[in-house]
Structure 1
């Protein structure tokens, strides 16, 4: 479609004229288009297009497009459960370790002895009137302690974005304290932890916003360590990013790690019979069925 909206009937004609086979029937195809949307589905039939005119590879079925879409949806669901667990755990570790290291500074995130100057300078942009009003425990704290500039770290950090938690870790001055935090995840080098943290945030943001996952490539090359399995030396693949997630989850809960690995394997196996989708799982996602 161009710059003018079209009806679902015209969308169907456009797709069939380009060679898409409505193996599920025209009525069901319309239901999918009205449910998911032509534009969003375009990300899932794109792998089956053969030219700039968006013509389809011979014998491309509409059901294959839909199956790829639901592979993406189901994979996001599996990963989001794991990512929520990881996010809370990392947040908790930073709050616990830093707060106990600086017991006399409950708002250590604004303490120049603890944090780098740029972070302290920028922090009021996040901790503003809207932030206080939108988060009831923070608002209640300031109503009770009217002279406090900030609520203590164990309150404040619970309401910051995961990206802000990363920024707090990154801007800690004490490298020894950073190493104490990352040891919880079996990681020895701070730069490796930072690399993995950013990878987790990248995948988390895609999942949280229902973004395109199967075709996601980490813009940051994932650092190779014995902790992470990297297929075909592809340090940007989704599968490599998933290995990072699996590693972190395993340091939090062995059972949840096993559940995630089995869930992903089962999901991929469900789609293995379709050669087109199997190729995408292997070549785009980077998963090895062997």
Structure 2
């Protein structure tokens, strides 16, 4: 017999019922009005917005959610936090797009002009298994590319298929434009030539190939969160960034105790460290970018009481200042 406590029995609620529930839990609608709240909730969804209730709720001794709002909490406070996160997501996505495009271009150029390649200059270098470390991974990646290109409506791909019979796949600089960030990071990691990897690593301003591989994997996860309109604020990212000595005075390092009670120092998995790395990459790709300034301006709209949820240290002075200090050191 099924345990009744394991059966989901919560009935769905209308938006009006959710408003009533929030009011009964102490959320005020004085400035916004219930009609405005009703409109926002109907388009955002109660479940999506509920993650932003947490910092405004009363705490309990056992650290479980009370779902009761602190005195004076208004719907606008929650909505402002939601809007901040949406703006942050758009800004982060803009930067990751620039980073992704730069990596595509530099990897494609380095691979096709690779002096270590038997053909020296090879437009279809990505099809050559000898240029990659793991032949099984290469075959898997190549099969995925072939499948995507077969169904592609991209004009460059269609032109190639209509014009040429061999090779049956387009050149590297066309193929690379069909890759997702995650797939691109896999192709990069599996590339055999250190010269190719060093060229990309240098272009984006990172110190080692290993760090570049780790950063690409981490940013691909952030990119997916942004692409699916996920929450960046108050989130522990699944993938941890590597320790980057050049950015050590800016990244937040946490003390972690392992299962064997060993103490380790690792970069925090909250968003702030990712913003530090993204900012560094952006300033290497486009030194005169306004991204740092716009990020600082957005951060200034976030009340300091919410900074710790992004992992922002109290001593932080802004991304523009960080950029200026790094440029001075260089």
- State the TM-score, normalized to the length of structure 2: 0.79
- Structure 1 residue runs of 5 or longer lacking an equivalent are 273-277
1:285 maps to which of 293, 307, 310: 310
| 1:47 aligned onto 2:74 | no
Q: Distance in 2 between matches of 1:180 and 1:265?
A: 31
The offset of 1:63, in angstroms, is 0.9
Q: Which runs of 5+ in 2 are unaligned?
A: 1-7, 59-63, 255-266, 316-330
- In the alignment, does 2:21 pair up with 1:22? no
Task: Give CA-to-partner distance per residue, 1:98-125, whole Å, 9 cap, x none.
Answer: 1111444322212121013022221343
Q: CA deviation at 1:53?
A: 5.1
Q: Secondary structure at the match of 2:71?
A: coil
Task: State whether residues 125 and 172 of structure 2, in contact with CA within 8 Å, keep that contact through their aligned partners in structure 1.
Answer: yes
2:106 equivalent to 1:80: no
Distance 1:104 1:179 in 2: 18
Preserved contact between residue 105 and residue 111 of structure 1 (Cα < 8 Å): no
Corresponding residue of 2:175: 156
3-state SS in 1 of match to 2:165:
coil
Report the secondary structure of 2:274's partner residue: helix
Q: How does 1:190-269 map to 2 (within 5 A)?
A: 190-228=209-247, 229-231=250-252, 233=254, 234-256=267-289, 259-269=290-300
Alpha-carbon distance in structure 2 between the residues aligned to 1:107 and 1:69:
46
Equivalent in the alignment of 2:192: 173
Q: Distance in 1 between matches of 2:148 and 2:243?
A: 41
Mapping of residues 57-96 of structure 1, within 5 Å: 57-96=70-109
Structure 1: how far apart are the matches of 2:210 and 2:141? 23
Q: Which has the higher contact order (CA 8 A, sep 6+)?
A: 1
| Alignment length (residue pairs) | 282
In structure 2, the CA distance between the partners of 1:138 and 1:64, relative to structure 1 (3 Å rule), is same
Please give the TM-score of this superposition, normalised by the length of structure 1.
Answer: 0.89
Tell me by how many angstroms 1:170 deviates.
0.3
> The residue matched to 1:227 in structure 2 has which SS?
helix
After superposition, the C-alpha distances for 1:69-122 in whole angstroms (9 at most, x for unaligned) are 011011112112211111111111101111111444322212121013022221
Give the 3-state SS of the residue equivalent to 1:106 in structure 2. coil
Aligned to 1:10: 17
Aligned to 1:275: none
1:3 Cα shift?
A: 4.2
- What is the rounded CA distance, in whole Å, between the counterparts of 1:45 and 1:175 in structure 2? 48
Asked if the contact 2:221/2:239 (under 8 Å) is kept, the reply is no
Distance apart, 1:181 and its partner CA: 2.1
Q: CA deviation at 1:58?
A: 2.8
Name the CA distance, whole Å, in 1 between partners of 2:25 and 2:104: 49
Q: Does the 8 Å CA contact 1:44/1:68 hold for their aligned counterparts?
A: yes
User: Cα 1:4–1:124, aligned 2, differ >3 Å: closer, same or farther?
Assistant: farther
Structural RMSD (CA): 2.1
Q: Per-residue deviation at 1:207?
A: 1.3
Moved over 4 A (4+): none
- Asked whether the equivalents of residues 224 and 235 of structure 1 are also in contact (C-alpha less than 8 Å), the reply is no
| Distance in 2 separating the partners of 1:88 and 1:76 | 18
